Amino acid sequence: MGTLPAVRASRTRGVNGPVSTREKKLKYVYDFTEGNKDLKDLLGGKGANLAEMTNLGLPVPPGFTISTEACKVYLESGREPAALRDEVSAHLDALEQRMGRTLGQQDDPLLVSVRSGAKFSMPGMMDTVLNIGLSDASVAGLAAQSGGDERFAWDSYRRLVQMFGNTVLGVDGDLFEEALEAAKRAKGADSDLGLDAADLRKLVGEYKAIVAEQAGRDFPQEPREQMDLAIRAVFDSWNTERAKLYRRQERIPGDLGTAVNICSMVFGNLGPDSGTGVAFTRDPASGHQGVYGDYLQNAQGEDVVAGIRNTVPLAELETIDKASYDQLMKIMETLETHYKDLCDIEFTIERGHLWMLQTRVGKRTAAAAFRIATQLVDQGLIDEAEALQRVNGAQLGQLMFPRFEDSVDDAAGYQRIGWGIAASPGAAVGKAVFDSYTAVKWSRSGERVILIRRETNPDDLNGMIAAEGILTSRGGKTSHAAVVARGMGKTCVCGAEELEVDTKRRRLTAPGGVVIEEGDLISIDGSTGKVYVGEVPVVPSPVVEYFEGRMHAGADEADELVQAVHRIMAYADRVRRLRVRANADNAEDAARARRFGAQGIGLCRTEHMFLGERRELVERLVLADTDTERDDALNALLPLQKADFVELFEAMDGLPVTVRLLDPPLHEFLPDITELSVRVALAESRKDANENDLRLLQAVHKLHEQNPMLGLRGVRLGLVIPGLFAMQVRAIAEAAAQRRAAKGDPRAEIMIPLVGTVQELEIVRDEADTVIAEVEAATGTTLKLAIGTMIELPRAALTAGQIAEAAEFFSFGTNDLTQTVWGFSRDDVEASFFTAYLEKGIFGVSPFETIDVDGVGALVRSAAEAGRAVRPDLKLGICGEHGGDPESVHFFHRVGLDYVSCSPFRIPVARLEAGRAAAR
Ligand code: ADP
Ligand code: MG
Ligand code: MG
């Protein structure tokens, strides 16, 4: 799938345009016996799987599927393809022959459902109408054929008018619900079962009146007209606002269209020996095999989902109807063996006869995905390579967040007050604050806070950074809060609509009158969207405990999940070609990265080594007027730098460590220009101006930049501040020599940032080679330090062949490369207009999260090729945040990089995805 599905969609959509070129001599309609499960593009998921079950010999009511191609023609041209009507007629004739009655036949009506079904499941997004074919003329015939069950016939008819009126004719569904409620009240009935045939007949009359009034037309009595209108309504339901929004959020392309399934009706509402239900072949939460599902006696399919009556656990079907139950269990086994995966199922029992109405490979929790994959390997149903495709890095990532204790939901004392959208995972606890200023102020004084807003905007950024988590009452997965929180890796629940946020009075009111004032403790779960009053205890993720080495997969305490993760990770490590390194700047992070499976450091940023007390040395360096002053400052920094590297090389002994020379603009190490100006002005007014401050202010002014991202930084610093890079190289070389003397195995690599042209690299390289030679001579060791560069500017990528002449390795800095290729500064754009871009579908996902394959990716690919053409053994890696993003990892695998480097916490995800990419 491309990264810009929505844009593509809107380009192909046109209203009432000329008849599409797509409309060639195509076949648009397929009998259930003609399809199979691999035809989801053409028949949609529901249609493909109905066909598959039909061909497996399972009891599926006969029917046919109108392909997504027909829908596409309709969406493009505003008209059904010309050939469709005749094709539908031919299939309907065949169906009628087979069933021995015609659609809506007066004395014995054939009824059908008209069901939507796209390639990807979009639960509840599109329309389905049951009981098509029923009319004033045939309702008595239906009653007679059902053995005189008048109630059943009128119940079916009122359902048709209701569903048809709502979904096809666009009548507000509440009007029907209200009429139904009124009928129940009049009868003193507490469910629809309390209404008899006469009541239902009266209700049908009322429903028809509602339709006539609201839709401006009568409910159509002609069966074929009912069917054709319903088909068109299903096509139209592809483009409802909620369907479009759902697709954007789930990144489903907008131009796929939906298929339409015409399926002969079976009736679960024929009395207590009938019913309808849903089932899973195993538990979608734990993966355990067993009987999971719900059953509802005397009901039609839509009742289960609508929750209008209480269902019973599926296991009870065994006592209600043992024969059907046994048959269902056998079918579930057949399906699992056939699909080699967890399936979910819709079924209906009509007077003791079981019918299968839907199946598909079922959704599951992240934990269940890992367990099921290994369970299926153990059952011999799938192999290890397939097991890797059954899980993904996003699921593994979810399992690595700390979470609230399992018992929370039922335990007294933890009151859940809201349930919003799980926008950015994690569990966060803190004091409620309602504005950014307070969030920052309180967090500075050491408080943990949760920022609560109706919705956030760029002004809230500082508060979001200061908060443990963010809670909003409005907005979905692409709202500002959600996008920015995900970018920061911060817990976020958004769109908790039942919570009333009053920022003026600094309070939140939950249903039932619970009030949270500023300062009250609140807990939010960004993995489930749940919001609790008070402090809910947080437990570390067992999966992280395992990666940390605090829990062993073989040990007794290891739960099933940890064992499953352990096995899957082992498969991934066995097959992957990409190596995985860490972005780590100190020995502690390096050690953790190693525990998590890092095979080296791909990016050690040296700027963190210039902070704290060392800032003052940087100031001296900047202020130096003479060579001596400058050398003094550098000489003071050298031993500190060297000590940092010694520790790091020791932690990563035997593995490569890529050290990047100083990258950020120097003014980042100097005092803030405003603060300093004020200080100097105050001092001057007191006539005691401090000489040093004055010089500093001058320097700060000189170094001040409009666009620091594009200013004096990276290799440019190395070229204009004499001795800076040489000092860093010397520190690396001496540290390596010291480790060597201590019988260690240091493997340092020196990386020059922000190179745009080979000349820059050559100059720095010559200087570095000289320094290294000096250290080698002085210590009597051969160091073999590799020197390479980051590729993070478009010009570097475009001249990669030249640059490769002077570089032993490339590391793609995809953060800066994304900024410079798109021409935007991340900090500015993410907070200001990314939300709008995501909402308009310009991005499916932020290019800072997932590599923009078509733009930035194309440069990576061509630079890799050009570099390798010049220097076949050129080592290639990537060290942007994309190194830990699942989709991006697959891309880096495809373009042939040697390794990805990411933050220590993302390493398991990168290992897993690298394995999945290789096993594919
Ligand atoms: P959704 O995709 O929203 O589940 P479906 O097309 O599956 O919509 O239909 C909605 C409900 O109606 C389901 O419970 C389904 O099992 C039931 N249903 C659909 N077609 C028939 C049919 N021909 N006979 C009986 N029930 C049906
Ligand atoms: Mg369904
Ligand atoms: Mg960079």
pLDDT score recorded for residue 410? 52
Residue 45 C-alpha to ligand 2 middle, in angstroms? 11
Reply yes or no on whether the pLDDT at 812 is more than 90.
yes
Residue 280 C-alpha to ligand 2 middle, in angstroms? 13
**Pocket flag, ligand 1, residue 318 (CB < 6 Å):** no
pLDDT score recorded for residue 200? 96
Reply yes or no on whether the pLDDT at 6 is more than 70.
no
Backbone angles phi, psi at 657, to 5 degrees: -130, 110
**Which of 304, 369, 288, 268 has its CA nearest to residue 61?**
268
**Pocket flag, ligand 1, residue 266 (CB < 6 Å):** yes
Tokens representing 693 are: 């401050």
Closest residue (by CA) to atom 22 of ligand 1?
A: 265
Residue 276 C-alpha to ligand 1 middle, in angstroms? 10
Q: Residue type at 131?
A: N
**Which of 845, 903, 900, 809 has its CA nearest to residue 400?**
903
Residue 658 CA: distances (Å) to CA of 316, 652, 726: 63, 11, 16
| Number of Cβ within a 10 Å radius of residue 454 | 16
Residue 358 C-alpha to ligand 2 middle, in angstroms? 6
At 231, the pLDDT band (50, 70, 90 cuts) reads very high
Query: What pTM value is reported for the model?
Result: 0.84
Gap between the Cα atoms of 610 and 596, Å rounded: 27
Query: pLDDT by residue (tens digit) across 563-609?
Result: 999 999 999 999 999 999 999 999 999 999 999 999 999 999 998 88
> Which percentage of the chain shows pLDDT scores above 70?
95
Which numbered atom of ligand 1 lies nearest the CA of 357?
16
Mean pLDDT of the 109-128 span: 89
For the chain, report the end-to-end CA distance as a whole number of angstroms: 16
Which residue in this structure is represented by tokens 């990276």?
A: 714
Tokens representing 297 are: 């006696």
Gap between the Cα atoms of 771 and 727, Å rounded: 9
**CB contact at 8 A, 747 and 656:** yes
pLDDT score recorded for residue 413? 65
Eight-class DSSP state of 240: S
Tokens representing 584 are: 């780590």
Long-range contacts of 473-476 (CB under 8 A, 24+ apart): 473/420, 473/497, 473/499, 473/500, 473/501, 473/508, 476/245, 476/249, 476/421
Query: pLDDT by residue (tens digit) across 833-846?
Result: 888 888 777 887 88
Helices vs. strands in the chain: H and E counts, helices first: 37, 31
pLDDT score recorded for residue 708? 87
Mean pLDDT of the 514-522 span: 95
**Which of 805, 817, 810 has its CA nearest to residue 897?**
810
| Average pLDDT in the chain | 91
**Pocket flag, ligand 1, residue 274 (CB < 6 Å):** no
Mean pLDDT of the 393-405 span: 89
At 7, the pLDDT band (50, 70, 90 cuts) reads very low
Query: pLDDT by residue (tens digit) across 530-556?
Result: 999 999 998 889 999 999 998 887 766
Query: pLDDT by residue (tens digit) across 687-705?
Result: 887 888 888 888 888 888 8
Backbone angles phi, psi at 586, to 5 degrees: -145, 170
Query: pLDDT by residue (tens digit) across 150-193?
Result: 999 999 999 999 999 999 999 999 999 999 999 999 999 988 88
pLDDT score recorded for residue 1? 34
**Pocket flag, ligand 1, residue 348 (CB < 6 Å):** yes
Reply yes or no on whether the pLDDT at 817 is more than 60.
yes
pLDDT score recorded for residue 408? 60
Tokens representing 116 are: 């939507």
Tell me the catalytic residues. Answer: 480, 879
At 500, the pLDDT band (50, 70, 90 cuts) reads very high
Mean pLDDT of the 801-815 span: 97
At 667, the pLDDT band (50, 70, 90 cuts) reads confident
pLDDT score recorded for residue 670? 84
**CB contact at 8 A, 533 and 516:** yes
Reply yes or no on whether the pLDDT at 4 is more than 60.
no
